[in-house]
Amino acid sequence: MSKKHQGHVARKRFGQNFLHDPSIIGRIITAIRPRPEDHLIEIGPGLGALTEELLDGAGALDAVELDRDLIPVLRTKFFMYGDKFQIHEADALKFDFSTLQNDERPLRVVGNLPYNISTPLIFHLLSFSGLISDMHFMLQKEVVERLAAQAGDSAYGRLGIMAQYYCRVEKLFLVPPGAFNPPPKVDSAIVRLTPYTDLPLKAQDTELLQDVVRIAFGQRRKTLRNNLKPLISGEQLQEIGIDPSLRPEKLELADFVKIADTVYHQRQQKS
């Protein structure tokens, strides 16, 4: 396939692969089910393969696009939707998504996320989880496996633990390379993240929880005793019922919350 598509060349530095398969587009729209009362946010709309279908169902759609060459293409293509369609030339990694919530409606986020920014962008969006009712992403299959991984899985780590702290994670379906132009060298998948209204497990300090998880997985092959030494001793881990000789991938989310809360209370006592 040619990399040129509707007059626009897919750019490697933006990780662009444009979706064009109508059956896959249909499956994604069915999974999202845009409704007239919805306020949708689309990250990286590309050439608008999903945008038109989303606009036909939703009440409003804000698009966040970094590639300035695509913006006039999208404005021309969707001008007939008037104020219902707004486009923002911005880097989604730095974008303040709270500025898009202009009424009581929660935001519904959709995106075909490039592999090179998918993990930091998901972490960025999790910081706005209180404003978001759900997120549907097209991601490299490996990233979806990391998001959905459970304790003991080889893909289990920081991304999945923190995503599952904030959200229910559902793997929906695979998307083959041929659905894109140019076709990527890997399989993609659709995932749904639904932020919890009330967190099933609530850490005393979420930033501290993130630190605990990051430090625990800093060297995956080392034990908790070694990795978490800067924060908590092996004896203290034993006191709260956690075996310090385990590797981090053996711990459940609840265990990491327990460790973070223990460190939090120790710091409170010292201050």
Give the span between the Cα atoms of 16 and 99, in whole angstroms. 26
Helix (H, G, I), strand (E, B) or coil at 223: coil
Percent of the residues in the chain that have a pLDDT greater than 70, as a whole number: 94
pLDDT of the residue at 13: 43
Give the span between the Cα atoms of 45 and 228, in whole angstroms. 41
Rg (CA), the chain: 21
Closest CA to 138 of 168, 106, 169, 115: 115
pLDDT of the residue at 156: 96
Banded model confidence at residue 1, pLDDT cuts 50, 70, 90? very low
Helix (H, G, I), strand (E, B) or coil at 247: coil
Give the span between the Cα atoms of 267 and 26, in whole angstroms. 52
Residue with tokens 């075996």: 243
Report whether pLDDT(179) > 90: no
Closest CA to 137 of 62, 192, 55: 192
Residue 105 is classified by DSSP as P
Q: Once rounded to an integer, what is the mean pLDDT over residues 82-97?
A: 96
202-259, pLDDT tens digit by residue?
999 999 999 999 999 998 889 999 999 999 999 999 999 999 999 999 999 999 999 9
pLDDT of the residue at 47: 87
pLDDT of the residue at 15: 45
Domain annotation for the chain: domains and CATH numbers: 4-195 (3.40.50.150), 206-270 (1.10.8.100)
- Can you list the alpha helix ranges (DSSP code H) found in the chain? 22-32, 51-57, 70-77, 115-126, 141-148, 158-166, 206-216, 224-227, 234-239, 253-270
Q: Vertex 148, ends 98 and 176: CA angle to 5°?
A: 95
